[in-house]
């Protein structure tokens, strides 16, 4: 099956001894599966992937590396969508990593680069256009109580809070919507207590989340496109890069005031949001699930000699 099982002796045995159990767990780690030592359906499916397909997977991801590796700077944040992971690299050295939650398959997190410019403490969430059109407006038309449950305020063009009952919601459409729906800051908020401000055309950013339990899931596709960070306080401490003024204690103290506050970074920190289904880690290759089914488009482009590769031709 793979080199994880080399040296296991007679493979006809049906007994899962300690050596075979350890090899199985190692295999699960390498394929980003639930590490439980049980040969369940997901583990068996990964074992049955032909070696030819794994070679194709390596080829696809070597191509992806070629697109960005020359653009990396000495200090950066790298998010791997398919790996549900975030890494912080400082002056060329890996410093820290954590788990993340990414977009649902029908609201995919895009691949792009942006720069973190500031950290927003106790942020207030303004509902973006897609969520307004597909979720919020339909829910409000059905039940005005949605606004109260989500702790959303209706804000007009002059910044005034409007009584929702005074609005004819059935006549409004997402296109040309004259108000902003703004959520109050707090532990209940969609952004949690920290947002990393990184302007980009996708309106996608890194932020905290009130749903911490979702980080325990093996497949973490739960957001509407943004990246939820498991330990945002630590990431804020790293990118603010001032251990005297902005350490963990002072960041938590500022959050504790419940006041919305923007803290500018001393220097911008680039964020690379990538999609990699095969990565090198500690001298070994990890094979990850193609959660957005993007590998096939890249492989097809690679197998077409005359086609010029672009992000668009590869399904982005």
| Tens-digit pLDDT profile for residues 141-158 | 999 999 999 999 999 999
Residue linked to tokens 């590869």: 314
Quick: pLDDT tens for 103-138: 999 999 999 999 999 999 999 999 999 999 999 999
Q: Indicate if 226 belongs to the active site.
A: yes
Give the separation between CA 137 and CA 170, rounded to whole angstroms. Answer: 9
Give the separation between CA 84 and CA 68, rounded to whole angstroms. Answer: 19
Q: Which residues pair with 274 in a beta bridge?
A: 80
Q: Of these residues, 202, 207, 293, 314, which one is catalytic? A: 207
Q: Of these residues, 31, 188, 226, 314, which one is catalytic? A: 226
pTM, full prediction: 0.85
The SS3 of residue 293 is: coil
pLDDT of residue 15: 55
Return all residues near 16 (Cβ < 8 A) that are at least 6 apart: 24, 37, 39
Q: Indicate if 202 belongs to the active site.
A: no
């Amino acid at each position: 099956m793979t080199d994880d099982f080399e040296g296991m002796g007679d493979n006809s045995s049906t007994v899962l001894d300690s050596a075979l159990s350890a090899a199985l767990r190692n295999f699960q780690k390498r394929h980003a599966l639930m590490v439980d030592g049980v040969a369940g359906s997901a583990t068996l499916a990964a074992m049955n992937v032909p070696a030819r397909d794994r070679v194709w997977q390596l080829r696809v991801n070597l191509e992806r590396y070629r697109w960005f590796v020359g653009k990396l700077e000495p200090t950066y944040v790298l998010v791997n969508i398919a790996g549900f992971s975030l890494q912080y690299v400082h002056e060329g050295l890996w410093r820290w990593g954590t788990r993340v939650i990414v977009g649902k398959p029908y609201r995919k997190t895009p691949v792009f680069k942006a720069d973190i410019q500031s950290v927003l403490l106790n942020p207030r969430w303004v509902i973006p256009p897609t969520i307004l059109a597909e979720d919020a407006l339909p829910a409000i038309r059905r039940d005005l109580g949605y606004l109260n449950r989500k702790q959303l305020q209706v804000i007009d063009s002059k910044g005034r809070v409007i009584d929702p009952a005074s609005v004819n919601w059935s006549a409004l459409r997402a296109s040309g919507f004259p108000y902003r729906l703004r959520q109050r800051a707090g532990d209940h908020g969609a952004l949690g207590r920290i947002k990393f401000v990184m302007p980009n055309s996708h309106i996608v950013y890194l932020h905290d989340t009130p749903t911490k339990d979702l980080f325990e899931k093996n497949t973490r596709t739960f957001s509407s496109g943004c990246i939820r960070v498991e330990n945002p306080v630590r990431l804020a401490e790293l990118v603010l890069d001032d251990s005297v003024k902005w350490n963990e204690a002072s960041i938590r103290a500022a959050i504790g005031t419940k006041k919305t506050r923007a803290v500018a970074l001393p220097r911008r920190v680039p964020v690379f949001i990538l999609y990699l289904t095969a990565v090198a880690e500690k001298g070994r290759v990890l094979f990850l699930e193609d959660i957005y089914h993007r590998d096939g488009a890249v492989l097809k482009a690679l197998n077409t000699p005359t086609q010029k590769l672009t992000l668009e031709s590869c399904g982005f």
